[in-house]
Amino acid sequence: MLQAMVNAFKLPDLRRRLLFTIFILIVFRFVASIPIPGVDAEKLAQLFKGNQFLSLLDLFAGGSMSRLSIAMMGVYPYITATIIFQLLTPIIPKLEEWQKEGEAGRRRLNQLQHWFTIPLALLQALAQISAYAGQGIITNWGFDALSNTLSTIAILATVTTGTIICIWFGELITEAGIGNGVSIIILANIVSRLPYQIGTTLIVGQNWLGILVFFALAIVTVVAIVVVQEGERRIPVQYAKRVRGRRVYGGGSVHVPIKVLTAGMIPLIFALSILAFPELIGSYMQYAGGLAGDVGKALMSWFGRDSWVYWLSYFLMTVGFTFFYTMVIFENQNLAENLQKQGGFIPGIRPGRPTQDYLTRVLNRVTMAGSVFLGLVAVLPYFARLLTGVQTMSLESTSVLIVVGVVLDTMRQLEAQLLMRHYEGFIKE
């Protein structure tokens, strides 16, 4: 692997792409360290010190939320817009038509997603910063006076622009660097917090056996995720031969891969987003008197990250959303219809509806294994804390999946570039 990396830097084109990617990431981390104006740093630190859910979000934001940086939302509004459009495409005929138009249609969809990201980022910024302002962390916030109104508009515009800049950085990496730029931006956010967490664990941790078990568990988890994420069921497909004049076209056999984890980390994001609402509502209601206060305290107790109700709900939602999102992706692909149009068929299965039913049955069985595995990975932080007693670090399932997925995808791209130039790649057969 080291020799493959040396070979990559020997090639001028690859070296330029790698150095450009590193440069953009350095600039991105510099932007992520610039705070928005009017922040009470002491109150902000106190808030994050006592809130595990905010600390989890801060991990995905690379520390930008705990500093209230202009890049506090990162590229997540764009990710949300992409997920929304994926779900809407089978419902809205125009979007489905664009998706089938090839590269031109995908460009239209991508442009529409970019435009939709702006109001989404604005609304998300308004919601998040209003919550901070309610805690007294943001000064000069509101629309009750001209000075506050101008300050509020400036803050919202700054944070929304920060998101657009992050997306732009990601697209620059995609075009002129290595890997999927948006994914690498998210990876940079997650990895940037690891040195701080590891350092804190080693400084304050006295349970060295628990720390060793934690790191061993982390390594086993990463290996298991790599194996399952790369796992697939290969469906044999035979293409009929076509005779035109004296020439024979087509023929041969290929495999259609059905991945075990087709949905990736999207079900985890869905489940986390929904589970955040009860705790958020409870945090506002718990200080009220009477029944409302009791309900708020109950929600905080049931859906706190130390409650078994939270983790059981997380597991069940992850399994359910994995099936749902996988079926959405499968329906969008129109696999059986495309095979029939291209003259392909599965041996022993009639084309058309029987092929669709067969693929659905296989997909359900494969997805069952993948969804249960993903659910177990989702609740792993809870059992890791019980087993090791380590509280300063967490095996967050979403972050581990993102890191593993982005690293594998980037290595594949480097592998392809090296093999094209007759060099030995990273991945050994």
- pLDDT tens for 290-301 read 777 777 777 777
Find the mean pLDDT for residues 399-412. Answer: 78
* pLDDT at residue 169, rounded to an integer: 92
The answer to whether 101 and 129 have CB atoms below 8 angstroms apart is no
Using alpha carbons, list the distances in angstroms from residue 225 to 25, 260, 272, 409. Answer: 26, 11, 19, 14
Q: Nearest-5° angle of CA 387, CA 388, CA 392?
A: 130
* pLDDT at residue 38, rounded to an integer: 78
Distance CA 268, CA 420 (A): 36
Comparing C-alpha atoms, which of 230, 203, 201, 200 is closest to residue 214?
Answer: 201
Among 26-40, 92-106, 190-204, which is the least confidently predicted range?
Answer: 190-204
The answer to whether 339 and 351 have CB atoms below 8 angstroms apart is yes
The answer to whether 65 and 129 have CB atoms below 8 angstroms apart is no
Alpha-carbon radius of gyration of the chain: 24
* pLDDT at residue 185, rounded to an integer: 85
The region that residue 257 occupies, defined by phi over 0 for left and psi between -120 and 50 for alpha, beta otherwise, is beta
Neighbour order of strands in the sheet with 232-239:
253-259, 232-239, 344-345
Distance CA 251, CA 243 (A): 10
- CA 170 from chain centre, in angstroms, equals 14
In the chain, pLDDT over 70 holds for what percent of residues? 82
Measured over the CA atoms of residue 11, residue 12, residue 16 and residue 22, the dihedral's sign is: positive
CA dihedral of 413, 418, 421, 424, whole degrees rounded to 10: -150
- CA 261 from chain centre, in angstroms, equals 13
The answer to whether 395 and 384 have CB atoms below 8 angstroms apart is yes
User: Is the pLDDT higher at 395 or at 93?
Assistant: 93
CA dihedral of 148, 153, 156, 159, whole degrees rounded to 10: -100
Using alpha carbons, list the distances in angstroms from residue 136 to 27, 50, 130. Answer: 31, 16, 10
Tally of CB atoms within 10 A around 372: 14
* pLDDT at residue 172, rounded to an integer: 92
Distance CA 227, CA 106 (A): 31
Q: Which domains does the chain have, with CATH numbers?
A: 1-205+398-429 (1.10.3370.10)
Alpha helix (H) ranges present in 343-394?
353-378, 380-388
* pLDDT at residue 168, rounded to an integer: 93
Asked whether residue 257 carries a pLDDT value surpassing 60, the answer given is yes
Q: What is the SS3 assignment for 32?
A: coil
The answer to whether 261 and 368 have CB atoms below 8 angstroms apart is no
The answer to whether 20 and 169 have CB atoms below 8 angstroms apart is no
Residue recorded with tokens 């990559």? 8
Can you read off the two tokens belonging to residue 395?
């095996």
* pLDDT at residue 242, rounded to an integer: 64
Distance CA 409, CA 302 (A): 38
* pLDDT at residue 24, rounded to an integer: 92
- pLDDT tens for 65-77 read 677 888 888 888 8
Can you read off the two tokens belonging to residue 297?
């305290």
Among 33-42, 177-186, 259-268, 391-400, which is the least confidently predicted range?
Answer: 391-400
* pLDDT at residue 364, rounded to an integer: 87
Largest CA distance in the chain: 87
